[in-house]
Amino acid sequence: MPDELLRPTIGTPVDLSVRPWRLMSQTYVAFFGGVIASTVIAFLNARRLGVDAVKRRLILLTGLFGLVAVGAVFVLLDGDDDMTSGIRVGTRVVAVLCCLVQLRLQRPMDRAFQLRGTDYGSLWGAGIAAAVGGAIAELFVLLLAARVV
Amino acid sequence: MNEPFEARLQMAGHWLQLGHPERTLVELQGLTGEAALDYRAYLFRGAALHALERNSEAIDVLRAGLSQHGPVLAMFHVLGSALRSDGRLPEAEAALLQGLSIDPNEPDLLIGYAHVCLAAGQAQKASALVERAASYAPESAAVSAARAQVAFALGKDRDMHRHSTEALSHDPEDPGARALHGTASILTGDARSGYTSLASAAASQPGDADLRAAAREAKLINHPLMLPLRPFARFNPLVVWIGAVAVIYGLRAVGLGPLSFVFAMVWLAFCVYSWVVPPLVRRWINRKWGS
């Protein structure tokens, strides 16, 4: 009887020179940069960790849902001057919730990475770039959506 | 083989067991002729090089040993481990499966294969392999340690703590088990015993930079100035953030504007503290330890 457990299942070697980012550092990017920044960083990191394609697509999908939710917050609270801070907080909460889901999707491969015992990379440069770029892109998307609506 | 060579080989194995791979290599350098081609010479040299993280040299030595002596299970085990450490996971899998095709129930090879699966992110398969190893070697420290690693990979931190405690009870001196126990303790919120375990593991493996760094981080978490930041270590920082934002806006929504403002200021001070203090404490600890 062939032994299922002893069948090869590992297809690709891991590139030890690739340095993923700490999951917790990504939360700062989500908080300051919003949904788009969080999704870009989570997607890039998932590739570095070797997360499979299905989960990487789920990360993108989460980002898309998040962006729709941010749009909804924007539409619901827009037009009222007192609510601009409400929009700021609301979009941040959505980004953070989105980020939690994206972290959950990366976690198994992050644990595998930790067991391999190599070092993380620094998120400072990419994180700040994503936070600034993401925030600008999000604003642009929302303004465009507001014009269309 | 004559007596001095046999004694030298045994000494080489002895140093390896004691965690001094560099001395193993020195002993093996003294071997000549037939003794230098003994299968143990290949095995010990390969294992010593692997322990010193000179994995590509280890792989060459072990492959040469296997082609010289045919299948030796222990060599497959170390070869698999060296290939895994080098990131060559499919080759590591092939080496271990080759060994397992000779003895499918060899616990060390099963655990070695489980480690390769863990490195590839296949935690479920790793778990099944470790359980198979456990059915052939139920009382082994290696099985408990591997179970702890599987639990870590699956995100089950409490199980990891249980299994690493079990591994320690088999061999309280084992640095690997201590390191696992330290990590598990920190993950389950017991920073003090986490530091104790990691520090003793680092002390018994002075060459291991990763362990040293982990012990240093644990020391940082235990510093009195870090006490206010425990919620960040214990819970997800995002959850703490959401909680704070909810309180600030909750208070404002029920008409307690000034109180909300005071809370927001306290929260801001706390955030600044959380950004400024850890790097300072880290620098101080590093200076004391000498990085």
| pLDDT value of residue B282 | 84
B33 in a structural domain: yes
Domain residue extents for chain A: 22-148
Let me know whether B163 and B100 are in one domain.
yes
Let me know whether B22 and B127 are in one domain.
yes
For each of chain A's 149 residues, which pLDDT tens digit applies? 468 899 999 988 888 889 999 998 898 899 889 999 999 999 999 999 999 999 999 999 999 999 999 988 888 876 655 566 777 778 888 998 999 999 999 999 999 999 988 889 999 999 999 999 999 999 898 888 778 76
| pLDDT value of residue B36 | 86
Residue B86's closest chain A neighbor by CA? A16
Check if A24 contacts B (Cβ < 8 Å).
yes
Let me know whether B238 and B98 are in one domain.
no
Let me know whether B203 and B229 are in one domain.
no
Let me know whether B136 and B250 are in one domain.
no
Let me know whether B185 and B241 are in one domain.
no
CA proximity to A91, closest of A38, A129, A144, A25: A38
User: Could B123 and A14 be called an inter-chain contact, meaning their C-beta atoms sit closer than 8 Å?
Assistant: no
CA distance B287 to B45: 37
User: Could A108 and B121 be called an inter-chain contact, meaning their C-beta atoms sit closer than 8 Å?
Assistant: yes
Residue B153 is part of a domain; what is its CATH number? 1.25.40.10
State how far residue A31 is from chain B, nearest Cα, in angstroms.
Answer: 9
Q: State yes or no: pLDDT of B278 exceeds 80.
A: yes
All residues at 6 or more sequence positions from B74 whose CB lies less than 8 Å from its CB, including other chains: B43, B108
Q: State yes or no: pLDDT of B113 exceeds 90.
A: yes
State how far residue A148 is from chain B, nearest Cα, in angstroms.
Answer: 31
> Would you mind telling me the total number of residues written for chain A in this entry?
149
Residues 32-61 of A with CB under 8 A from B: 50
Which of the four pLDDT bands, split at 50, 70 and 90, describes residue B61?
very high
| pLDDT value of residue A80 | 59
Interface predicted TM-score of the whole assembly (ipTM), two decimals: 0.87
User: Could A6 and B149 be called an inter-chain contact, meaning their C-beta atoms sit closer than 8 Å?
Assistant: no
pLDDT one-digit tens code per residue, B248-271 = 888 888 888 889 889 989 988 988
Number of domains making up chain B: 2
Higher pLDDT, B245 or A48: A48
Let me know whether B207 and B232 are in one domain.
no
Q: Which residues of B157-196 are buried (b: 16+ CB within 10 A; e: fewer)?
A: bebbbbbbbbbbeebeebbbbbbbbbbbbbbbeebebbbb
B218 in a structural domain: no
Residue A10's closest chain B neighbor by CA? B90
Which of the four pLDDT bands, split at 50, 70 and 90, describes residue B247?
confident
CA distance B288 to B272: 25
The domain boundary, picked from B190, B213, B236, lies at: B213
State how far residue A19 is from chain B, nearest Cα, in angstroms.
Answer: 13
State how far residue A69 is from chain B, nearest Cα, in angstroms.
Answer: 17
User: Could B121 and A109 be called an inter-chain contact, meaning their C-beta atoms sit closer than 8 Å?
Assistant: yes
Let me know whether B202 and B268 are in one domain.
no
Biggest CA pair distance of chain B: 92
Rg (CA), chain B: 24
| pLDDT value of residue A109 | 95
The domain boundary, picked from B163, B189, B213, lies at: B213
Residues of B in contact with A100 (CB under 8 A): 236, 238
Check if A16 contacts B (Cβ < 8 Å).
yes
| pLDDT value of residue B287 | 78
Let me know whether B44 and B131 are in one domain.
yes
Check if B212 contacts A (Cβ < 8 Å).
no
Residues of A in contact with B236 (CB under 8 A): 100
**A71-75, B70-74, B189-193 — most confident range:** B70-74
Question: CA angle A119-A125-A131, nearest 5°?
Answer: 115
| pLDDT value of residue A1 | 45
* Contact present, A60 and A123 (Cβ < 8 Å): no
Let me know whether B257 and B194 are in one domain.
no
| pLDDT value of residue A129 | 96
B137 in a structural domain: yes
Q: Which residues form the domain of B281?
A: 223-291
| pLDDT value of residue A134 | 95
Residues of B in contact with A95 (CB under 8 A): none
